[in-house]
Chains A and B, each alone.
Chain A
Amino acid sequence: MKPSPFAYSAPQSLDEALAVLADVGGDGKVLAGGQSLLPILNMRLAAPAHVIDINRVAELSYVTVDADSVQVGALARHAEVEHDDPAYDALPLLRQALRLVAHPVIRNRGTTVGSLAHADPSGEMTAVLALTDGTVTAARAGSTREIAAADFFLGPLESCLEPGELAVAARFPRLPVRSGCTFVEVARRHGDYAVCGVAAVVTLDEGGLVVSARTAYISVAPTPLVLDLTEAVAGRAVRGVDWAAAGELAGTQVDPEADIHATADYRRHLARVLTGRALAEAAGRVAA
């Protein structure tokens, strides 16, 4: 239960961090909040030769909001994003999801961009990035690229980040006008990994009719799964919508696997029920 030996660098600037990463290549592992990486090191599930601690790269510690999106730097802690009022006003889904990420103490240290880079299929923020069509900015010495959520997650604990690259920021676009959102999940204990979690966004037109109903799922697929369920509810007045029908449609489109925590059928059942619940809640939150 102790990490195996590794070489350690604590760069003071982004340029220095990228230079170290370019130097160590595939042997390097980036340490930000460490709330997923340290358990992995402690249990020796991984033994990187070189750890690059970016906690002193102050320029990556920011949450900014503009007319289009919320941008989160690689050193912004979950708690900082959660408690940022402008970010909440721009995209309430961030705070709604972050409240379900582990426990308050873990959120004091863990970073939002780090949890995206970790690419855990039960990580709430992966679903938020996927549902909002967000992007991750990856930098390497001399260049940066913007990666769409749909391309970023390759599989369980696997992102498309390459050796020498650092995820420096994530961008979460605002929702369309007249949209409501929520994040609901079922976990064995509050703060544990979700057995199934659903992020939902419902958008209405000026007359209060549903024009879009989209959901994203954690813990039911190797990567965050986004579903467009609009066909089940489109054009209905928001008060009369049968959200359970959208849940039934979702149930036919998820294909979860069984593990020691739940059977595949139970996860599908949860996806069905939580979808209906999440869409109803999201619709109820559309600002009049």
Chain B
Amino acid sequence: MTAPEEIEQLHAVRLRVNGVWHDAQVPARRLLSDFLRHDLRLTGTHVGCEHGVCGACTVLVDGKPTRSCLMLAVGARDHEVITVEGLGTPEAMHPVQQAFRECHGLQCGFCTPGFLTTIAAFVEENPDPTEDEAREAISGNLCRCTGYQNIVKSVLRTAEITRDSRSSETSGDQEAAEEARNVSVDHDGRAT
């Protein structure tokens, strides 16, 4: 039996993922989600339903949250993709990652990459959301563990951290930014 790769035409793609340009040859039907996981070995992007319902595979394409299972890798040619690996590092977490840790925004973690990318972009656009807006922002992401309460808190906390760091950046006070990032939280995840 002939492997599909041998009979399928391959297409050259060049795209930037987490700041690094990648060149690859892929069949047209390769989904962006599979390209990230299989070709680039970036397995932080999770694949749940593969028809756009669960939100686990959400990545940022040119800054906009996008289902990577509903986009072809060839369609991402020349575009900028940010996956959960590109948000932050254990030493320098993105505000959304810090907020999820503080607010217990995850349990099993399967859905988390999709929430993190979605919320990172949302807070960038709306740094002072109401709880209703926070719920609307994550309405396209499914979580079967948490019951969402702590994820909603994480969205609001992400916004709080982002606002604090922005205001201290504008005043040029880096120490205050550090202070804001290290603010302690009670067991409900509320800043104290």
Contacts and interface: CB of A to CB of B under 8 A. Distances in A.
A109 B72 contact: no
Interface in B71-91: 71-72, 74-75, 77
A103 B51 contact: no
B28 A6 contact: yes
Interface string A27-38: 000010011001
Interface string B53-82: 001001001001111011110110100000
For the complex of A and B, list the 7 residue pairs with the smallest distance between their C-beta atoms, beginning with the closest. A103-B140, A8-B28, A39-B51, A38-B70, A3-B29, A1-B50, A105-B65
Interface stretch (B3-11, B100-108, B148-156, B164-172): B3-11
A106 B28 CA distance: 21
B66 A109 contact: yes
B140 A39 contact: no
B156 to A, nearest CB: 17
Contacts, number: 93
A260 interface: no
Interface of A: 1-8, 10, 31, 34-35, 38-39, 41-43, 51, 53, 55, 79, 102-106, 108-109, 190-191
Contacts of B74: 8, 10, 53
B139 interface: yes
B118 interface: yes
11 contacts: A4-B29, A5-B7, A5-B27, A10-B74, A31-B72, A41-B29, A79-B64, A105-B67, A109-B61, A109-B67, A109-B71
A35 B8 contact: no
Contact of A35 (B52, B61, B64): B52
Contact of A7 (B28, B70, B136): B28
Interface in B8-66: 8-9, 11, 27-29, 31, 34, 50-52, 55, 58, 61, 64-66
B180 interface: no
Given A5-B29, A35-B52, A108 B64 contact: yes
A74 to B, nearest CB: 15
A38 B73 CA distance: 12
A102 B31 contact: no
Nearest to A8: B28
Contacts of A191: 139-140
Contacts of B77: 10
B28 A42 contact: no
Given A103-B140, A106-B52, A191-B140, A6 B66 contact: no
B65 to A, nearest CB: 5
A38 B28 contact: no
Given A39-B51, A42-B69, A103 B28 contact: no
Contact of B140 (A2, A3, A6, A105): A105
A53 to B, nearest CB: 6
A40 B19 CA distance: 32
B8 A5 contact: yes
Give the most central of B7, B28, B122: most A CB within 10 Å.
B28
Contacts of A190: 136, 139
Contact of B52 (A2, A38, A53, A55): A38
B66 A42 contact: no
Given A2-B31, A39-B51, A191-B140, A8 B70 contact: no
A32 to B, nearest CB: 10
A191 B136 CA distance: 10
A7 B72 CA distance: 13
Nearest to B32: A38
Contacts of A7: 9, 28
Nearest to B67: A105
Nearest to B76: A55
Give the most central of A4, A51, A108: most B CB within 10 Å.
A108
Nearest to A107: B140
A6 B72 CA distance: 12
A10 B75 CA distance: 8
Nearest to A39: B51
B139 A104 contact: yes
B139 A53 contact: no
Nearest to B27: A5
Contacts of B191: none
B176 interface: no
Interface string B125-165: 00000000000110111000000000000000000000000
